[in-house]
Amino acid sequence: MEKKPFATREKLEEIAKEYPTPFHLYDEKGIRENARALKEAFSWNPGFKEYFAVKATPNPFILKILQDMGCGTDCSSETELMLSKACGFTGHDIMFSSNDTPPEEFKMADELGAIINLDDFTHIACVEKVLDTFPETMSCRFNPGGLFRISNDIMDNPGDSKYGMTEEQLTEAFRILKDKGVKHFGIHAFLASNTVTNEYYPLLAKILFELAVRVKNAAGVHIAFINLSGGIGIPYRPDQEPNDIRVIGDGVRKVYEEVLVPAGMGDVAIFTELGRFMLGPYGALVTRAIHEKHTYKEYIGVDACAVNLMRPAMYGAYHHITVMGKENAPCDHKYDVTGSLCENNDKFAVDRMLPEIQMGDLLFIHDTGAHGFSMGYNYNGKLRSAELLLQEDGSVRMIRRAETPKDYFATFDFCGLLKDVE
Ligand SMILES: *Cc1c(COP(=O)(O)O)cnc(C)c1O
């Protein structure tokens, strides 16, 4: 599949006149259409709800769009809870799926009325210490151990992951929580990340639905929801076949009817905590070529760097690049596209075949809408860029300003040094 930018070169140049590159640009129309498709795909389940994983794109304007589309938020830290609260998410619209949780954060989540999803058995005692009473609804995170396979492919290694409880622990946790007054229970698991196959969710659903039936019988509890969490991926590479959310929703429905309905559990709600799938394709990092360098390789230096998008440097992740205005030109030049950090892994692309790039060309780095800006950092004293929203009517709205040196030095505000930095 050809990857097409969601904005034209003319539009990007117009935006760049007001907001200098680099910047992250989000496509409101794409975000809304995709959220609608997800909702549609699970409309067979009356209790269905998507809790957007805030860490993927922690911007209040984005959260407001998703709220308007019927989504809640999935949080795992104090500031993510604060952000949700500020956006008007309350009560069961917030899922608190944290791990290694500071006890005060359980308290904060409880005060907001959020659903607390316990990562570990020992957290029951921790919650008991900080809360006066247990909430009526609680969830526990499951880890089946071993390797997680789809057909013969190893998708991930849950046995090596820090998250979740064993089945024995989860069953015992439900018994104890029930004694302490919890009435409605949820089960959560996240077994593989960025899956580009329609089989992941149905397979995970089967594991969790069968577990739910066993746990319901063993602990005598009401299972109110199953949380399939995140993990539905996106095709970062142009040759990857995208997931079909309708096929995925239908696959989960089949397993639901096979496992839960016959067990008298046809009232169980399905929850998701998608991040990447909700936002990934609907954001891009827009940057300009500012240097070319010809040594042992051909380099194009751009005005963005790994602090704006860490995935290529951190995971060697592929992000497709379109040279704006040259969409139909032959990709007959091999480049490393680099940022300016004093780190040799600061490369958005290595040995990438692209059209010939001239200084001043705009590069559209695709699929940065999730885990893009949010993984940013300040190494080398580099500053975070602005985030902009391309609205449905074609106008552009700034939804986060770019950092200034003053922001970078703000944590020295306890002393007089650097106070005059502008
Ligand atoms: C990161 C995370 C998600 C979202 O993952 P994606 O890969 O972005 O879909 C959901 N739930 C939890 C608990 C997470 O840690």
- The full DSSP string for 138-201 is EEEEB---S-EEETTEEEE-GGG-S--B-HHHHHHHHHHHHHTT--EEEEE----SSB-STTHH
Q: How far is the CA of 395 from the centre of ligand 1 (A)?
A: 31
CATH 3.20.20.10 domain span(s) along the chain: 28-279
Torsion angles phi and psi, residue 397, rounded to 5? -125, 135
Residue 136's Cα: distance from chain center in Å? 28
Ligand 1: distance of its center to the CA of 276 in Å?
Answer: 8
- CATH 2.40.37.10 domain range(s) in the chain: 281-409
What fold characterizes domain 281-409? Lyase, Ornithine Decarboxylase; Chain A, domain 1 (2.40.37)
The Cα 365–Cα 343 span in angstroms is 20
Please report the atom of ligand 1 found closest to the CA of residue 97. Answer: 13
Pairing of β 49-53 and β 269-272: parallel
In this predicted structure, what is the pLDDT of residue 168?
A: 98
Which of 34, 55, 143 has most ligand 1 atoms within 8 Å of CB, for mutation?
A: 55
Q: Given 87, 140, 305, 342, which residue is catalytic? A: 342
Sign of the C-alpha dihedral computed for residues 146, 150, 151 and 153 taken in this order: negative
- Is pTM beyond 0.95? Reply is yes
For CA atoms 370, 374, 378, 379, the dihedral sign is negative
Residue 342 is among the residues annotated as catalytic for this protein: yes
Total length of the chain = 422
β-bridge pairing 115-118 and 137-141: parallel
Ligand 1, pocket residues at CB < 6 Å: 53, 55-56, 74, 97, 190, 193-194, 229-231, 273-277, 370
Ligand 1 centroid to Cα of residue 218, in Å, is 29
As given in the structure block, the two tokens for residue 193 are 């990340």
Distance CA 51, CA 73 (A): 4
Task: Quote the pLDDT of residue 408.
Answer: 96
Give, rounded to a whole angstrom, the gap between the first and last alpha carbons of the chain.
Answer: 47
Ligand 1 pocket test: pick from 57, 74, 139 the residue with the most ligand atoms within 8 Å of its Cβ.
74
CB within 8 Å of 87: residues ≥ 6 apart: 60, 63, 64, 67, 73
Ligand 1 midpoint to CA 154 (Å) = 19
Per-residue pLDDT of the chain (422 residues; tens, 9 = 90+): 689 999 999 999 999 999 999 999 999 999 999 999 999 999 999 999 999 999 999 999 999 999 999 999 999 999 999 999 999 999 999 999 999 999 999 999 999 999 999 999 999 999 999 999 999 999 999 999 999 998 888 889 999 999 999 999 999 999 999 999 999 999 999 999 999 999 999 999 999 999 999 999 999 999 999 999 999 999 999 999 999 999 999 999 999 999 999 999 999 999 999 999 999 999 999 999 999 999 999 999 999 999 999 999 999 999 999 999 999 999 999 999 999 999 999 999 999 999 999 999 999 999 999 999 999 999 999 999 999 999 999 999 999 999 999 999 999 999 999 988 87
pLDDT at 1: 66
Query: What CATH number labels 28-279?
Result: 3.20.20.10
Place of tokens 């009435």: 183
- Residue 351 and residue 266 in contact, taking contact as beta carbons nearer than 8 Å: no
